[in-house]
A and B are shown apart, each in its own frame.
Chain A
Amino acid sequence: MNNHVRCLLMSLPMLLFALCGCSSPRSKFVLLSSPDGHVGNVTVANKTGEIHLAKPFESIDLFYPDERPSQPVIMTEAEFNSTFKDALAAQPTAPLTFLLYFEPGTSRLTPESEKILPVIIDYIRKVHSSDISISGHSDKVGSRDINIRISRERANEIANQLTRLGVAPESLEVASHGMELPLIDTPEGVPEPRNRRVELVVR
């Protein structure tokens, strides 16, 4: 009985420590490769130093805010998969971007791009997307104002076609950017078919 009380008293500070969230907030960082195979890099830093992670599954484990980040270690794939099991399963599909191109100065799709529309519709249905953004763009032929109008007409044209093919209008977010965001940078007045486009992102 006495022993039990003593034990309880002794563990009380530990318990309080744990309850108030003052226990050391251990943090583990793991670098992964992107789905396209690209591996960027991560810098993990605190007030005592910093370290770079540059290889897939390279990881660093820190227990205290003033612990100096030391040599990274490679986490095994099995350990990674069990540690991050639920976060892995909850990863959303990365959004898919489609590019549609237009005839010069018009909101008429090129014949090649016209063929892509059914593919886009199929994809929207497959992923049950209700979050689609449509951004109209132009090249740098003509004035800024004319290009704002043309890019808006292009975006609206695609929005109308999708709606006609059964996509709910409330799923669409339509924007126009004129000649301000070219994919290919050109001087003003230069025609560039790759900039006469609608970017359609299905999320």
Chain B
Amino acid sequence: MSHGLCFLLLLMVYNCSCVFAADSDAVGRVKIINGPVYILRGAEQSAAKIDMKIVRNDILLTGKQGSMGIVFNDNSTLSLGPDTKFQLASYEFNALEKKAGFVGQIRRGTMIYLSGLIARMNADATRFETPVAVAGVRGTKLAIKVEGGDNE
């Protein structure tokens, strides 16, 4: 049964990756890199480089000595410390269509987020999910540390 579930999950991940691989709209860019840092996009993992584009659903991974900094289209910034796994679950920023939202999932490691224009457009549209709770961020700076989370 658990194998069946795993298969189902894999299938879901696989299907999602196809959808999002097609969605190449950059929502942010890598600005700072130290040590080993990777971007997992669908099934493809690549070493992150300065100015590399971030798209929705990307998983950002830092190694034991790694850290990285990202600037998003709405001028919000995110930095990740070592041994961190972070997924950009959702990102909407379109002033003309009045769409704004930011959802990040941190499975392990450390992060610091500084809000930008999304928070000004919609104060209740930014949140970060950890294995134990969800943080709703209203126009400010937040640091999160997750210990003993996802070890994949």
Known: A31-B142, A92-B69, A203-B71. A87 touches B135 (CB 8 A): no
Say if the beta carbon of A185 comes within 8 Å of chain B.
no
CB pair B75–A95 under 8 Å, yes or no, is: yes
Give the residue among B70, B96, B119, B148 with the most A Cβ atoms within 10 A: B148
CB pair B112–A26 under 8 Å, yes or no, is: no
Task: Bits for A5-49, please: 1 = Cβ < 8 Å to B, else 0.
Answer: 000000000000011110111111111111100111111111000
List chain B residues, Cβ under 8 A from A90. 32, 34, 67-69, 79-81
Q: Cα distance A91–B71 when bound, in Å?
A: 9
Please count the residue pairs between chain A and chain B whose beta carbons lie under 8 angstroms apart in the complex.
171
CB pair A86–B138 under 8 Å, yes or no, is: no
List chain B residues, Cβ under 8 A from A94. 71, 75, 77, 114, 116
Known: A21-B150, A92-B32, A92-B77. A87 touches B133 (CB 8 A): no
Q: Cα distance A42–B134 when bound, in Å?
A: 10
Q: Cα distance A20–B141 when bound, in Å?
A: 32
CB pair B110–A84 under 8 Å, yes or no, is: yes
CB pair A91–B69 under 8 Å, yes or no, is: yes
CB pair B152–A21 under 8 Å, yes or no, is: yes
List chain A residues, Cβ under 8 A from B31. 92-93, 203
Q: Cα distance A160–B140 when bound, in Å?
A: 36
- Which residue of the partner chain, among B75, B111, B112, B134, contacts A44 with CB atoms under 8 Å? B134
Known: A21-B150, A28-B145. A87 touches B140 (CB 8 A): no
CB pair B144–A28 under 8 Å, yes or no, is: yes
Q: Which residue of chain A has the shortest Cβ distance to B83 in the bound complex? A: A86
Q: Cα distance A62–B134 when bound, in Å?
A: 11
The B interface is mostly helix, strand or loop, or mixed, namely: strand
Q: Cα distance A88–B119 when bound, in Å?
A: 21
- Which residue of the partner chain, among B29, B107, B133, B140, contacts A34 with CB atoms under 8 Å? B140
Known: A34-B140, A87-B112. A27 touches B133 (CB 8 A): yes
Say if the beta carbon of B151 comes within 8 Å of chain A.
yes
List chain A residues, Cβ under 8 A from B150. 21, 25
Say if the beta carbon of B36 comes within 8 Å of chain A.
no
- Which residue of the partner chain, among B75, B77, B139, B140, contacts A91 with CB atoms under 8 Å? B77
CB pair A29–B135 under 8 Å, yes or no, is: yes
List chain A residues, Cβ under 8 A from B68. 90
List chain B residues, Cβ under 8 A from A39. 140
CB distance from A21 to the nearest CB of B (A): 4
Task: Bits for B109-152, please: 1 = Cβ < 8 Å to A, else 0.
Answer: 01110111001000000000011111111111111111111111
15 A-B residue pairs with Cβ-Cβ distance under 8 Å, sorted by A, are A25-B150, A27-B130, A27-B145, A27-B147, A32-B112, A33-B141, A34-B139, A38-B140, A40-B115, A40-B138, A40-B139, A42-B136, A45-B133, A89-B67, A203-B29
Shortest Cβ-Cβ A-B pairs, 5 listed = A40-B140, A25-B131, A21-B151, A87-B81, A92-B69
